[in-house]
Structures are given as C-alpha cells and as structure tokens.
C-alpha cells in the first residue's frame, strides 16, 4: 500500500523522525533551500502536514497543497495554523494537549519561585565571590501566603492553580465565565480587576484573535510596581511594547517569560533588564513530554488515514 505523503514543516527529535518516516512518505520543507519551488513541486501530492505550534501552516502553504486533508500540530497552541483556510477547505486539524499540561504548569511555578527569590542572581553571587567579599545576598520577596491570579483557567491554568494552593495562596482567575471545578478560587471577569488584586499574574490562555494583547497597558499598570507577570502561554497574548516600557520604568515589578514575539530573535531590550527572567520556550521541554507529543502527532495522522476517530481534534 502506498504511504500517505506528508509535509514536515520543522524538525523533530530523532525518536520522532524515524517512526514518522516509517509510516509516511515525508517531504522535509525545512530542508528546502527554495521553499516556494519545493512547495510547487511536492504540494499537489501532500495529504497531511506535520508541523509545530510556533511554525503552524499559513494560507499560502495550505493553498499550495490542494489535496491537503489533515494538519497535525506538535504542541498545544495552534494559532499559527490558518483555521479559516482549513474550514473553507474541510481540512482537519489536531494538536497535542494534556500530555504537556503538567510540565508547563511546573515550569510556571518554577519561574515564579526563581524570580521572586532571585535564584539566578543568587547563584552568580556565590560563584563570582560576592558572598565572601560582600556578605549576604540582597533580600527578595516571599511566595507563600500571597495573592495569585490565573488568566485563563483551562487545562494548564487549572494545574497552575492546583500547585499554587500548596503555597497557601489566595487564588483568583479570569475566564469567559466562572468554572464549576474552581473550588476555593475567586472568579474575576475583568482581567484588569484581576491584575489589580494579585501579586503574581499567570497568563495561561490559548491564543486567538480575541486574546491578542489582552495583557496590555491597563492590565500591566494594574499589576503594578510590586507585581510579577508570568507568561507560559503564547507571546501574542501580551503587548510586548507595553511590557518592556513598564519593566524599564519600574511601573511593573518583574516578569518571567517563556515565550516572545519573533522568537528566538527576541527584542534585545529584554536582555538589558535586571527584572525579567527569560526562558527559551521550553515549558514542555522534558524527555517524557516531548516523546508523548511526538507520538500523539503520529497517532492523529495515522488515525485520520486509517479512518479512525482523531484522538485530539481541534477542527
């Protein structure tokens, strides 16, 4: 039987590459020197796309593959896939939720602790001899017993909130409406009001046109000079220009960020700041989770081409 032909948009770890190549005839878009010519050549044969959340599949790519039937995304975010084009053409879309939820929540909590307690600077303080030469490290801020807000109480947001309860924190959240499972948490409809009444604001929203820059000047100002913003969602949920201005002038206390506009080429202004913790978009970056994500990408493709129910459909 002829293998379905798929377009692989970006590289995967070797443990995913091998089974993907065994199951499908794979065309490696990311290896092509002349990508438009490559798409023009292989596009008509492509029935599936295997991509990553940050790479997605835009309308031009989709239209270059007139026989495309399914797009499988490695990652929970699918905002870089042109869903409108997929709806028009009846193309199915899948992602890899759940398998990465707990690791992403873990990193969010770790970022809060690391930034609040100054752990990066404290390690430098030890290693560069400042401890012996200058004495004790400057005092930082506690985490336990303070107020936390979660913007977007979906899978990841809920796991973040569960972990925050272990620090005896007062937890509030914003979403499209109150959640029946949010026991012991306070619902606040307006993100500005949420930010005004918390010390730590976690951004855990799925990205969409509606949530673009939902964390803008007003939310950042409400969080204030003692507040910390932690983003483990998508860069588009935050107005980076307003964030940078607030961090630079001190109207926002600090931030801990795993995602950036234009990553990995983030705005160099971030690199000059002492009040921001920068991470390389690796919230799901554990061996266990990345292996599970790769398997789910293949499971979705194999289910589609065998006529089975898609494990994790988006569209």
Q: Rounded to 5 degrees, what are φ and ψ at 99?
A: -65, -20
Q: Which residue, 73, 71, 70, 111, is CA-closest to 95?
A: 73
Average pLDDT of the residues in 237-254: 98
Stronger pLDDT, 207 or 159, i.e. the higher one: 159
Query: What SS3 state is found at 232?
Result: coil
What pLDDT was estimated at residue 1?
66
- pLDDT digit string (tens) for 70-80? 999 999 999 99
What amino acid positions are annotated as catalytic residues?
234, 263, 281
Task: Report the distance separating Cα 76 and Cα 273, nearest Å.
Answer: 30
Average pLDDT of the residues in 17-27: 97
User: What percent of the chain is predicted at pLDDT more than 90?
Assistant: 98
What pLDDT was estimated at residue 256?
98
What pLDDT was estimated at residue 250?
97
Is the pLDDT assigned to residue 144 strictly greater than 90? yes
Task: Report the distance separating Cα 63 and Cα 58, nearest Å.
Answer: 9
Q: Rounded to 5 degrees, what are φ and ψ at 52?
A: -115, 160
Q: Which residue, 221, 199, 108, 186, is CA-closest to 148?
A: 199
Q: What is the pTM of this model?
A: 0.91
Is the pLDDT assigned to residue 120 strictly greater than 80? yes
- CA dihedral over 278, 284, 287, 288, signed as positive or negative: positive
Average pLDDT of the residues in 45-51: 98
Task: Report the distance separating Cα 300 and Cα 295, nearest Å.
Answer: 9
CB 299 within 8 A of CB 98: no
Report residue 22's pLDDT band, with 50, 70 and 90 as the boundaries.
Answer: very high
Compute the half-sphere exposure of residue 78: CA atoms within 13 Å on the CB side of its CA.
Answer: 22
Average pLDDT of the residues in 218-235: 98
Is the pLDDT assigned to residue 304 strictly greater than 80? yes
- Which residues are CB-contacts of 142 (< 8 A; sequence separation ≥ 6)? 116
What pLDDT was estimated at residue 96?
96
Q: What is the DSSP string of 163-197?
A: HHHTTT-EEEEESSS--TT-TT-EE-S-HHHHHHT
Q: For 286, which DSSP code?
A: S
- At which residue do the structure tokens 């940078």 appear? 244
- pLDDT digit string (tens) for 250-281? 999 999 999 999 999 999 999 999 999 999 99
């Amino acid at each position: 039987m002829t293998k379905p032909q798929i377009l692989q948009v970006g590289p995967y770890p070797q443990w995913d590459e091998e089974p993907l190549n065994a199951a499908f005839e794979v065309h490696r878009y990311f290896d092509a020197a002349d990508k438009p010519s490559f798409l023009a050549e292989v596009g008509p044969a492509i029935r599936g796309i295997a991509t990553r959340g940050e790479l997605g599949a835009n309308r031009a790519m989709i239209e270059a593959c007139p026989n495309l039937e399914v797009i499988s995304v490695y990652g929970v975010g699918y905002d870089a896939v042109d869903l409108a084009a997929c709806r028009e053409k009846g193309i199915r879309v899948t992602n890899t939720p759940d398998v990465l939820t707990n690791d992403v929540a873990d990193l969010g909590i770790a970022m809060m602790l690391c930034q609040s307690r100054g752990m990066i600077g404290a390690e430098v303080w030890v290693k560069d001899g400042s401890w012996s030469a200058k004495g004790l490290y400057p005092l930082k801020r506690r985490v336990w017993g303070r107020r936390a807000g979660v913007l977007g109480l979906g899978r990841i947001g809920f796991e973040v909130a569960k972990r925050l309860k272990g620090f005896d924190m007062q937890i509030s959240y914003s979403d499209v409406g109150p959640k029946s499972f949010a026991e012991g948490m306070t619902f606040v409809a307006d993100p500005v009001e949420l930010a005004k009444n918390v010390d730590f604001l976690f951004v855990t929203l799925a990205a969409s046109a509606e949530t673009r820059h939902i964390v803008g000047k007003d939310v950042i100002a409400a969080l204030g000079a003692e507040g910390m913003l932690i983003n483990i969602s998508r860069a588009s949920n935050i107005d980076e220009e307003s964030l940078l201005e607030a961090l630079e002038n001190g109207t926002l206390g600090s931030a801990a960020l795993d995602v950036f506009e234009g990553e990995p080429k983030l705005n160099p202004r971030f690199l000059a700041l002492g009040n921001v913790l920068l991470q390389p978009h690796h919230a799901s970056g554990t061996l266990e989770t990345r292996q599970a994500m790769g398997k789910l990408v293949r499971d979705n493709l194999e289910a589609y081409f065998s006529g089975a129910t898609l494990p994790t459909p988006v569209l």
